[in-house]
């Protein structure tokens, strides 16, 4: 049964803070994230193959960072990475994704017409 303190902690803190590796909800979420990350990466690379533009390639690589983030979550759950390292890499991938999307938009806008 959920207590008020665990419910409050679950609402106020992100899912991965204070969660044990045996938590089935987190394992299910990471598994679903992995499946959808692979699907999005494959679809985005298929779009790149069809269009063959730099913008599509940059977006495909940006979408692939989702797969990297789910891989980091699984690595953390298996105990191969501590929480600080996990968060550093996770936020680094956020920066990489942002830079790739901005690069794709800039490249698409500068090569119009």
Q: What is the pLDDT of residues 65-75, one digit of tens each?
A: 999 988 888 88
In a domain, 33, yes or no: no
Confidence (pLDDT) at 105: 92
The stretch 50-57 carries a mean pLDDT of 92
Confidence (pLDDT) at 5: 47
Closest by CA position to 68, among listed 91, 44, 50:
91
In a domain, 21, yes or no: no
In a domain, 68, yes or no: yes
Overall pTM > 0.85: no
Q: Please give the tally of structural domains in the chain.
A: 1
Structural domain of 104: 44-113
Would you place residue 81 in the very low, low, confident or very high pLDDT band (cuts 50, 70, 90)?
Answer: confident
In a domain, 111, yes or no: yes
In a domain, 37, yes or no: no
User: What is the Cα–Cα distance from 19 to 105, expressed in whole angstroms?
Assistant: 38
In a domain, 86, yes or no: yes
């Amino acid at each position: 049964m959920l207590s008020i303190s665990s419910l409050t902690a679950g609402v106020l803190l992100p899912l991965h803070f204070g969660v044990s590796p045996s938590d089935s909800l987190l394992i299910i979420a990471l598994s679903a994230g992995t499946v959808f990350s692979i699907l999005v990466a494959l679809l985005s690379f298929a779009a790149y193959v069809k269009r063959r533009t730099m913008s599509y390639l940059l977006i495909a690589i940006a979408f692939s960072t989702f797969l990297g983030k789910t891989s980091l979550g699984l690595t953390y759950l298996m105990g191969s990475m501590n929480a600080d390292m996990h968060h550093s890499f996770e936020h680094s991938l956020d920066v990489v994704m942002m830079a790739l999307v901005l690069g794709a938009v800039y490249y698409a806008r500068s090569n119009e017409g």
